[in-house]
Structure 1
């Protein structure tokens, strides 16, 4: 089968299209024929060797896999051949206190599919049978691969952790990103007034079309003040921050008194500063948010099935063009999700 692997860390040039054997599922695994795989920032971090624990080489990335069951392990007979599925990217033990309480995203034995395991930049991939979710008939493979990480993460940030409320002013930073396009929709679904940022006129227009009430150019040096003006000087009640160092200061500038800032990422840099005086005098909250739970993923899949939540696919590349797909993401030339197709 064809798989995309890298044998050393570096730029997209280290990605190689190689013929490798089709993997055999273990007793507790299933083999999935991959129909679509999302391209994610973590794929790039893995390739660069900048994840907290560098991946083992050679490595096949790909965390967002949707396809059909092609083989079933001895202990996985509850799955049938040809069944349409998506992999839950946040692998967990299912036994610890966090897992039993539905907080499986913070399982201490947890792993990220496609980072600590072989991923889905391939024609076939194995996955733990109990970490696979059946796709509703109305959810296409492209949709599932578009929301497996970004949808569950956005829901976890805004609803589970951020507790977005009706009538709040919610700031979605970088609304044109794969996670941002879903953040806009989820915040609107919750009844919030959505203020979005985007770096180009085209992306700002498209953010409006998605439902954002106000869209601001985040290449402007004072965009945090623009958010405050758009809220009558108050600031955003909830800030959806996933960029890191490049947007951190202005995200704080935009945050209201008693406001919450929820963050899930730092691809532009993880070392940031803040003034403790503002934090305690304004009674603000900074909230960490990691990936999403299985429950979060099942919720966004159900919303996609009934048409409430829509995947936004920027482009779909053949598997062999994975380097080009990652390059588009690195160039910030996309609005929505980039996918790979293995057939």
Structure 2
């Protein structure tokens, strides 16, 4: 088969002929029609990720058709269009992943290829209203957003939620699910255009996080503080989230693109009775609930741009630049 292979740190992704995987016991072979990029792929390419091993095939997000079965896999899966859950071996504790937890695309070979073999328990029927490209945009970002918003922060209908850094895949998926669930959603971005596009997806409004007093101005604009704040940046700006939170609010973050949280004045946390929560990926139950929510409300993930598999390196550079609005997708099969 053909696959985009990464041979070392800071090496470009190269389309190469590699052996087609053979499904082992309990596994299925998926002929991929589409895959999607995540920042994780860029971090691995730059050597900024634990457990590096080369050569490797990146890609945590994929959708396609089951073409072969390993011993013991359900025959009913043969020929079924599926979307792949990239989080494997979460473990028995729903509150946190086990040490055995892995994500598709490292250490196991990922979805930037014509075929991938995965345990059968990690494929789910492709939502009927989605194309393969749209479905490929869903898995990692969708389960991350769902767990952060609903499992960890306990977002309820009617609550006011702030989603920072709108435009990235997880943030947009969180926006779509929160709006569909009846929350009042506000956003931040460094781009006025991205805020406008978020409003077209149901956001009430937003603020430019580059403005010095964005938090107080947005609270004023929204008519009060935020019950839930979903963040991926952390870093020096985290204190502004404490100011934006309503009393009893929950701040959940699933990333730290701006680095360590430098200042957390204790009084701003304890006097407002705030909860600060960490979240990453999700359980099989989180993934199933996320897919059901998309099916129930006929939600369609936002796709920024579709590249051919052979142009995967160009897709990676677009991801690295951070200018996208939605998911960057590789089209593998027509």
TM-score range relative to shorter protein = over 0.9
> Which of 179, 182, 196 in structure 2 is aligned with 1:205?
196
> Please, which of 104, 111, 135 is the counterpart of residue 113 of structure 1?
104
> 1:63 deviation in Å?
0.4
Residue in 2 aligned with 1:268? 258
2:9 equivalent in structure 1: 9
Q: Which residue of 2 aligns with 1:169?
A: 160
- How far apart in 2 are the matches of 1:8 and 1:307? 42
Task: Indicate which of 20, 23, 26 corresponds to 1:22.
Answer: 20
Q: Contact 1:69–1:79 (CA<8 Å) still a contact in 2?
A: no
* Cα distance in structure 2, aligned partners of 1:136 and 1:14: 33
**Which residue of 35, 46, 49 maps to 1:48?**
46
CA positional deviation for 1:270: 4.0
Query: Structure 1 residue aligned with 2:92, among 97, 117, 121?
Result: 97
Please say if 1:326 is aligned against 2:324.
no
Q: Distance in 1 between matches of 2:25 and 2:157?
A: 47
- Give a deviation string over 1:218-253, Cα, whole Å, max 9, x none: 222322222222244x42111111123264233233
Say whether residues 1:280 and 2:275 are aligned partners.
no
* C-alpha displacement of 1:88: 1.0
Map 1:26-41 → 2, pairs under 5 A: 26-41=24-39
Deviations, residues 103-123 of structure 1 (Å, cap 9, x unaligned): 286233211111221111111
How many residue pairs match? The answer is 333
1:335 is matched with: 325
Do the aligned partners of 2:195 and 2:205 also contact (CA within 8 Å) in 1? no
- 1:128-207 equivalent positions in 2, closer than 5 A: 128-207=119-198
Matched with 2:301 is 311
Question: What is the match of residue 71 of structure 1?
Answer: 68
TM-score (norm 1): 0.91
Q: 1:40-72 CA deviation, whole Å, 9 max, x = no partner?
A: 011111112222x23211111100111011211
Gaps of 5+ in 2: none
Q: Output the CA distance in 1 between the equivalents of 2:75 and 2:284.
A: 18
1: CA distance, partners of 2:8 / 2:230 = 34
Q: Provide the alpha-carbon RMSD of the alignment.
A: 1.9
Determine if the alignment matches structure 1 residue 62 to structure 2 residue 59: yes
Structure 1: how far apart are the matches of 2:128 and 2:109? Answer: 27
- Structure 2 distance, partners of 1:158, 1:304, is 15
- Cα distance in 2, alignment partners of residues 105 and 336 from structure 1: 28
Counterparts of 1:71 and 1:89, CA distance in 2: 19
* Higher mean displacement: 266-275 or 17-26: 266-275
State how far apart, in whole Å, the 2-side matches of 1:186 and 1:26 are. Answer: 35
Tell me the distance in 2 between the aligned counterparts of 1:80 and 1:261: 40
